[in-house]
Structure 1
Amino acid sequence: MASIPALVEPAVLRWARRSIGLDTVAAARKIGVPDDRIEKWEAGDEQPTIAQLKSAATAYKRPLAVFFLAEPPQGFDAMRDFRRHDESDGEWSPELHGEYRRALLQRDNSLELFELDDALPSSSWIVSLPGGSDDDLARAARKKLLGATPVPLPTGSGGPYEHLNTWVSALEEAGVLVMATHGGKVKTREMRAFSLYFETMPVIMLNGADSARGRLFSLLHEYAHLLLHTGGLCDMIADTKATSIDRQLEARCNAIAASILMPAELVLRRPEVVARVNRQGTWDYEALRSAAAPFGTSAEAFLRRLVVLGRVSHEFYSARRPEFLATYEAEESRSKAGGGNWYRNQARDLGKGYVRHVADAHRRRVIDSYTAATYLNVKVGQIERLARTAAIQEPV
C-alpha cells in the first residue's frame, strides 16, 4: 500500500524544527528517518508521509494542525529575549525549549479553568511600595506571603523540603503558577530557574534536578524578578562585582530573595552569629549550616547574607566560598535518592497548585476525564492518586 504524502510547506517544517532548537540530523534521528531526509523535506525535494509528519509533530512538540498552515506563524509562542549571563551558551537546548512551551501551555490551561468558573486568579503576589527600599519590599512581601500561606513555616527540626513546601504553597496561593522541569532533563548549568512575568498568573519554573535548598533560593530569586516586573532565565551565579546591567539585576534579585528568606533581625539573633561578632575567622561549614537550617537555605547563601549584613568581609567570603560550596555539593549529592515516587515527581513537576486546580475542576465535572488527563499528562485512572499526592500536607 502506497504511503500518503503530507502536503506541507517546507518553510513551516523548517520553522517547527528551529523553534525547538534541533539541527537537521538530530531531528531526523528523533523522527526515525535517514539523516539527510529533513534537509530534503525543508528544501521541498521530498515530502513526509502522514505517519512521518505525526512523528515530526511529536518530536517538535507541535500540534499536527500547525504543519498545514500556509506559512510559518508570526508571534506564535515566540521566545522572549531572556537574560543570559556572559558565560552562558546563547542557544537553548531542545529540552529547555520544551519546558518553556509547557509553562505557557499549563498557564493557558489554568486560565481556561478560571474562565469556565467565571472566576479570576489571585493577584495578591503583587507588592507595590513606591519609593520604598528593596529591604522594605522584601519585608512586605514576606509578611504578605506568610500571612496567607496554607502551610506555616516549619519550626524546630524542619528540613529544606518543608521550607520549600511552605514558600511554594504561599506563592501558589498568591496567584503564581509554580512548576519544575521534568525528570532533570534540563541541566542546572543551563538553567536554575526561569520566570514569565504576567500581571495575571505569572509563572516560575524551577529545575527539578536541583536540590531543595537550591530550588528554594531560586524560587524567591524569581519572585523578586516578578516583583520588579521582569522575567527571565537564571543560572544563579554569584557575582560580587556585578558590572553589567544584567548582573546588577541578578545581584539585586539575589539580595531581595535573601532578605525575604533570611530577615536581618532573625539572622542577627541566631546564637551562632551572636557568638562570632568580630570573630569571622571562627566560621566553619558546620556552624554556617547550623545557622542556615532554620531558614531552609544553604550555608553558602547564609554566608553571603552575613556579608550583606556586615558580619563577615567580602575577602573572607571569596576565600572560603569554594570550600563551602564543595562541601555543600558533596553533601547534597549523597542525600539525593535515585528515582523517587513517580506521583510525587509528577506533582512537583506540574506544580501541586496546578494539579489541585485541574483535579478539583474534574471532581466538580467542570471538565471531563479526558481533558483532565490531558492537562495532567496522565491516564484517567491516575488522576485521583495524583490529586492526593498534591494535597497541601504533602512535602514538595
Structure 2
Amino acid sequence: MAARKQHINPDVLVWAMKQAGMSRGQLATEVDTDPFTVETWMNGDDSPGLTQLRLIAKSLRRPTSLFFLSRVPSQQPVQTSFRNPIGSRGVRSLSSEERAEIRLAQRRQKIAVWAAEKVEEHLPVRLPRRLKSPESTAQSVQSWLRWDVQDQVRSSKSAVTKLVRRSLEDQGIMIIQLSMNSDACRGFSIYSETIPLIAYNSTSHVAAARTFTILHELGHLLSHEQAVCDQPDDAEERWCDRFAAAFLIPEPHLLAYMEKYLKVAHVENDDVESVRRISNRYGASFQCVALRLIDLGLAGWQLYRAVSANPLEVDGPAFGGEPQTTHLVRMREYGVTYPRLLLAARDRGKLHDLDARKYLNVNGEQLERLQQRIAEEV
C-alpha cells in the first residue's frame, strides 16, 4: 500500500529550506530520497508521505504543522552578531544547526521579554556607552560590573567564566550555553533594549575561550549591533577581540606581573611558556593573551601564529563538584536570567505552571529545585 501523501504548502517548504540553509541535495540525503523527488515537493508537483514529512521536519528543525500553513510565516530575519569558529577564514554561510540555534535563542529571548513585562520588575538593561577605544571601553565596563581584578587572578579559569557570566546576568543580560558541533560558531549575540542575549558554544572549547567569547559578544552588544558578522577579519570583529582582551588583562596589572615574575619587558615570538603563565594568571585563553601582548606592543604577530599553530591549551582536571542533576544542567544551559523571569511570572499568576515547565524543559519537582537554587544564587 502506497504511503498517503501529505499535501504540504510547497512555498513553506522552500522557505524553511532557505531559512535552514539546506539545499535540495542535502535534504534528499537527510530524507533518504533523491534531489529530483525533493524538487517535485518544492514545486508542488508531488507531496511527501507522512514518514518523509516527519524526516523533513526533523532535518529542518520545524514542527510538521508548519508545512500545512496557507502562506509563508511572516518573520523577522535572523539578526545577530556571529562569531566564527577558531581558524575560520573569509565569508561562510550559517549552517542549518547554527540557524536553528539562533531561532531557538530568539524564541527564548522573546519569552523572557514577555515575562519581564508581566512581572514589571525587570528594568531595561542600561549597557555602558561604547567608547572609541577598546581600552577605555573595557575600563568603563569593569566599573559598570564592579569587576575586581584581584578576585579574577585568584580564581581558576572555569571560575573566571562563571564570574563573568554571573556579573553580566546580575545586570539583566541573558546568557545561554549551547552544545553545537565543534565546527560551529563560538558564539552569537542578539541585541534587545530589555534583555540582550549572549550565546556561547561549549563544545570542544576550553573555559578561558568561553570567557573570551562572552566578552567578545558583549562588545557587539555595546554597539547595539544586529548584523550577521561572518567575516572574522573585519574591523568590528577585531575591535571586539581587543575589548575582550583588555577587559581580562588590564595593562598596569600585566606590566607589573611581567616585571616581577617573568622578568621581561617583551615576549619573544616563540615564548609560549610566558603566554601560558599569563594565561593562568588572568584566566584568559592563550590566543587572548597573545592578542593583548600584540595590542600593547609587547609581542609581535609571530607569537599569535605560534600559539595558534600549537593548540596546547587544556582545562585542568575537575575534582569533586555536585552531581549534574537536571535542574543544575538547565541552569548551566539557560543561566539565571531566563528561568528567574519565568518563575517570577508563574508566581504572580501570569504564566501557567505547565508552561513554565515546558519552556524550561523540566518536570514539577525539577522546577521547584531550580527555583530554590536560583534563590540561593541571588
Asked if TM exceeds 0.5, the reply is yes
State the distance in 2 between where 1:273 and 1:302 align.
Answer: 18
The alpha-carbon deviation at position 66 of structure 1 amounts to 3.4
Q: Residue 77 of structure 2: SS of its match in structure 1? A: coil
Aligned: 1:313 with 2:307: no
Q: Is the 8 A contact 1:222 1:231 kept in 2?
A: no
Query: Cα deviation per residue 1:112-146 (whole Å; 9 max; x = unaligned)?
Result: 1112213444413x11267x644222211111013
Q: Residue 206 of structure 1: SS of its match in structure 2? A: strand
State the distance in 2 between where 1:388 and 1:47 align.
Answer: 50
Q: Is the 8 A contact 2:81 2:220 kept in 1?
A: no
Structure 2, unmatched stretches of 5+, are none
Q: How does 1:258-297 map to 2 (within 5 A)?
A: 258-270=245-257, 275-278=262-265, 280-281=267-268, 284-297=271-284
Aligned: 1:253 with 2:240: yes
Query: Cα deviation per residue 1:77-108 (whole Å; 9 max; x = unaligned)?
Result: 42348678882453221110111101101101
State the distance in 2 between where 1:33 and 1:376 align.
Answer: 36
Judged with a 3 Å threshold, the aligned counterparts in structure 2 of structure 1 residues 215 and 279 are, in CA distance, closer, same or farther, namely closer
The alpha-carbon deviation at position 186 of structure 1 amounts to 3.2
Query: Cα deviation per residue 1:341-389 (whole Å; 9 max; x = unaligned)?
Result: 4634443232332233334444555422321122123344432344556
Q: How does 1:91-106 map to 2 (within 5 A)?
A: 91-106=93-108
Structure 1, unmatched stretches of 5+, are 238-245
Residue 171 of structure 1 corresponds to 168
Residue 135 of structure 1 corresponds to 135
Judged with a 3 Å threshold, the aligned counterparts in structure 2 of structure 1 residues 283 and 370 are, in CA distance, closer, same or farther, namely same
The alpha-carbon deviation at position 222 of structure 1 amounts to 1.0
Q: Residue 178 of structure 1: SS of its match in structure 2? A: strand
State the distance in 2 between where 1:166 and 1:350 align.
Answer: 16
Judged with a 3 Å threshold, the aligned counterparts in structure 2 of structure 1 residues 230 and 153 are, in CA distance, closer, same or farther, namely farther
The AA in structure 2 aligned to 1:305 is: R
Q: Is the 8 A contact 1:362 1:368 kept in 2?
A: yes
Q: Is the 8 A contact 1:224 1:253 kept in 2?
A: yes
Q: Is the 8 A contact 1:40 1:46 kept in 2?
A: yes
The alpha-carbon deviation at position 233 of structure 1 amounts to 5.6
The alpha-carbon deviation at position 64 of structure 1 amounts to 4.5
Residue 211 of structure 1 corresponds to 206
Aligned: 1:226 with 2:221: yes
Q: Is the 8 A contact 1:276 1:282 kept in 2?
A: no
Residue 302 of structure 1 corresponds to 289
Q: How does 1:62-77 map to 2 (within 5 A)?
A: 62-74=62-74, 76-77=75-76
State the distance in 2 between where 1:107 and 1:153 align.
Answer: 33
RMSD: 3.7
Q: Residue 154 of structure 1: SS of its match in structure 2? A: helix
Residue 117 of structure 1 corresponds to 119
Residue 370 of structure 1 corresponds to 354
Query: Relative contact order (alpha carbons < 8 A, sep ≥ 6): 1 or 2 greater?
Result: 2
Judged with a 3 Å threshold, the aligned counterparts in structure 2 of structure 1 residues 381 and 46 are, in CA distance, closer, same or farther, namely farther
The alpha-carbon deviation at position 201 of structure 1 amounts to 1.6
**Percent same amino acid at aligned positions?**
25
Q: Is the 8 A contact 1:114 1:120 kept in 2?
A: yes
The alpha-carbon deviation at position 49 of structure 1 amounts to 5.0
Residues paired across the two proteins, number: 370
Q: Residue 280 of structure 1: SS of its match in structure 2? A: coil
Judged with a 3 Å threshold, the aligned counterparts in structure 2 of structure 1 residues 274 and 89 are, in CA distance, closer, same or farther, namely same
Q: Residue 128 of structure 1: SS of its match in structure 2? A: coil
Judged with a 3 Å threshold, the aligned counterparts in structure 2 of structure 1 residues 352 and 120 are, in CA distance, closer, same or farther, namely closer
